[in-house]
């Protein structure tokens, strides 16, 4: 029996893909750099690889912030200080909010039935700010971030620290909802939670399925929970 819901934030409730596009477009303009779809596509590839390294415990967020844009510029043969662009990018992302269709309505609905928690690897203050701007924050019981907890999702210690603050709710009584097949779905399943994969990017289903449920839109979750 489900007694609590844990939700990822980026590309589950808030559209990180669109926000990152808008934020880097603004950052490039601030630094007088030419922006193109190739820049965004390269960012997406590099960013995904770096975050998977963080999930595996091979890399840190501090390293990401120091190296991400320098890696991207190296691939694009752009001679510019990536750390300066990283700082601008984070500042612009801080209050950039694009709510995924149905997200506010879903969280409002879930909060009428369960305590609702969020779990994110993104910066703590940034996520609180974006959730408040979006209108989602009032319906949440607690926001968990790896920065505040000191360990990254999906490591066991991340979920240990979450459940220590969840008023006695057990993993098997909780469903993890997210877009990441590694950080959210595999991580949640290995910890003992039920899992619901929101296929935000409409990718092919993996051969090894760690999820109990799959949806292509947030509105479909109301038929499950």
155 and 207 inside one domain: yes
Q: Which domain holds residue 178?
A: 4-15+99-223
pLDDT at 30 exceeding the cut of 90 = yes
For position 1, what pLDDT does the model report? Answer: 92
For position 132, what pLDDT does the model report? Answer: 98
For position 209, what pLDDT does the model report? Answer: 85
CATH classification of the domain holding 61: 1.10.150.240
For position 207, what pLDDT does the model report? Answer: 78
Enclosing H/E stretch for 6: strand 4-7
88 and 130 inside one domain: no
Pairing of strands 142-145, 116-120: parallel
Radius of gyration of the chain from Cα atoms?
A: 17
Count of domains for the chain: 2
33 and 131 inside one domain: no
84 and 127 inside one domain: no
Reported confidence tier of residue 122, pLDDT bands at 50, 70, 90 = very high
pLDDT at 153 exceeding the cut of 90 = yes
54 and 129 inside one domain: no
Confirm whether pTM is higher than 0.85.
yes
182 and 89 inside one domain: no
């Amino acid at each position: 029996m489900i007694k609590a819901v844990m939700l990822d934030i980026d590309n589950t409730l808030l559209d990180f893909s669109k926000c990152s596009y808008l934020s880097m477009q603004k950052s490039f303009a601030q630094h007088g750099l030419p922006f193109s779809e190739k820049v965004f596509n390269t960012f997406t590839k590099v960013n995904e690889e770096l975050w998977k390294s963080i999930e595996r415990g091979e890399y840190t967020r501090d390293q990401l912030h120091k190296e991400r844009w320098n890696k991207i510029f190296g691939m694009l043969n752009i001679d510019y200080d990536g750390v300066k662009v990283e700082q601008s990018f984070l500042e612009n992302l801080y209050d950039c909010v694009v709510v995924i269709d149905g997200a506010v309505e879903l969280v409002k609905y879930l909060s009428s039935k369960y305590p609702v928690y969020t779990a994110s690897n993104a910066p703590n203050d940034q996520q609180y700010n974006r959730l408040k701007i979006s209108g989602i924050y009032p319906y949440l019981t607690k926001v968990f971030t790896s920065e505040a907890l000191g360990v990254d999702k999906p490591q066991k210690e991340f979920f240990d620290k979450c459940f220590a603050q969840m008023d006695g709710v057990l993993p098997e009584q909780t469903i993890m909802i997210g877009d990441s097949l590694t950080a959210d779905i595999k991580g949640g399943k290995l910890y003992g939670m039920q899992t619901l994969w929101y296929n935000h990017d409409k990718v092919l289903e993996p051969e090894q399925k760690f999820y109990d449920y799959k949806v292509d839109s947030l509105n479909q979750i109301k038929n499950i929970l």
